[in-house]
Amino acid sequence: MANAHLELSQVGIDFPTPKGPFCALKQVDLKIAKGEFVSLIGHSGCGKSTVLNIVAGLHQATQGGVVLNGREVDEPGPERAVVFQNHSLMPWMTAYQNVELAVKRVFGRRKSRAEIRAWVTHNLELVHMTHAMHKRPDEISGGMKQRVGIARALAMEPQVLLMDEPFGALDALTRAHLQDSLQEIHAELGNTVIMITHDVDEAVLLSDRIVMMTNGPAATIGEILEVDLPRPRDRIALADNPRYNHYRHEVLRFLYEKQRKVESLDRRRDTAKAAKKTQVQA
């Protein structure tokens, strides 16, 4: 990928602990094209959220760095919007006001009141939430809250949309509806998307590439899987698609093999510690 839109180069990060630095990530190299949908998947503690936070500018890499559109990423910015698993909406504001707040922060000096109103409404339309735009978060469902959170992120017109398990807390049916909505939005806007997920089917359904992370400490990219399936993708039709099931199998194989190796290493380490302790006591 000669001209990457977003590039992570030799990214590593250490966190201070009472016992010394803890290496969470090591030598993460990834190039992402403009408009690409990339999923990060791996076991808990493999550094997926840390990678996302470094791209968002919320963490500073200890080694290497991130370049977006030729400029180094070293702090948060509106060109990188984040959608978390927790919607993080202001509870005293309506859905409209929550989106409006973000729009005013980014475009307050460039858009008139009428333009802001039209832009907020447009982004709520994208996520099918205009019917509830004047309701507060406690008056709408969890799925609707996430739709508002996505609308708020999109309203910032980010070059990169970062999503940290955005549908993880939702029931299966609501999750499926939001996955379909996200496919529609991505097709219409062409945003570059990086999404963390634990759901293998979700990753295969939505992604152009799936980045599989090794287990920490010193987590890194283990494998990258290209998902060559035509869009738009229909989950029902894909259920019997051999290529879909091949991709699904490849992700499960990676996750299962890595977990098995880690468990084996942990057992050997525990056995060695127990033997050493017995020798000391003797």
Q: Can you give the residue ranges of every domain in the chain?
A: 6-33+44-73+199-281
Can you give the chain as a three-state secondary structure string?
Answer: CCCCCEEEEEEEEEECCCCCCEEEEEEEEEEECCCCEEEEECCCCCCHHHHHHHHHCCCCCCEEEEEECCEECCCCCCCEEEECCCCCCCCCCCHHHHHHHHHHHHHCCCCCHHHHHHHHHHHHHHCCCHHHCCCCHHHCCHHHHHHHHHHHHHCCCCCEEEEECCCCCCCHHHHHHHHHHHHHHHHHHCCEEEEECCCHHHHHHHCCEEEEECCCCCECEEEEEECCCCCCCCHHHHCCCHHHHHHHHHHHHHHHHHHHHHHHHHHHHHHHHHHHHHHHHC
Distances (CA, A) of 155 to 79, 151, 152, 258, 281: 11, 6, 5, 39, 65
Confidence of residue 266 (pLDDT cuts 50, 70, 90): low
Asked if 155 and 102 count as a contact pair (C-beta separation under 8 A), the reply is: yes
Mean pLDDT of 264-274: 62
Asked if 145 and 174 count as a contact pair (C-beta separation under 8 A), the reply is: no
pLDDT at 164: 94
pLDDT at 270: 61
Q: What is the pLDDT of residues 146-189, one digit of tens each?
A: 999 999 999 999 999 999 999 988 899 999 999 999 999 999 99
Question: For the packed helices 142-154 and 113-126, what is the interaxial angle rounded to 10 degrees?
Answer: 130
pLDDT at 38: 98
- Give the integer Cα–Cα distance in Å for 32 and 38: 8
- Give the integer Cα–Cα distance in Å for 200 and 247: 9
Can you say how many angstroms the Cα of residue 231 is from the centroid of all Cα atoms in its chain?
Answer: 20
pLDDT at 281: 58
Can you say how many angstroms the Cα of residue 267 is from the centroid of all Cα atoms in its chain?
Answer: 32
- Give the integer Cα–Cα distance in Å for 119 and 99: 9
Confidence of residue 65 (pLDDT cuts 50, 70, 90): very high
Mean pLDDT of 84-96: 90
Pairing assessment for the beta strands 71-72 and 63-68 based on DSSP bridges: antiparallel
- Give the integer Cα–Cα distance in Å for 1 and 175: 32
pLDDT at 82: 93
Q: What is the pLDDT of residues 5-35, one digit of tens each?
A: 999 999 999 999 998 889 999 999 999 999 9
pLDDT of 280 strictly over 70: no
How many CB atoms neighbour CB 175 within 10 A? 18
Q: What is the pLDDT of residues 98-122, one digit of tens each?
A: 999 999 999 988 899 999 999 999 9
Q: What is the pLDDT of residues 228-249, one digit of tens each?
A: 999 999 999 998 999 999 999 9
pLDDT at 175: 92
- Give the integer Cα–Cα distance in Å for 156 and 102: 7
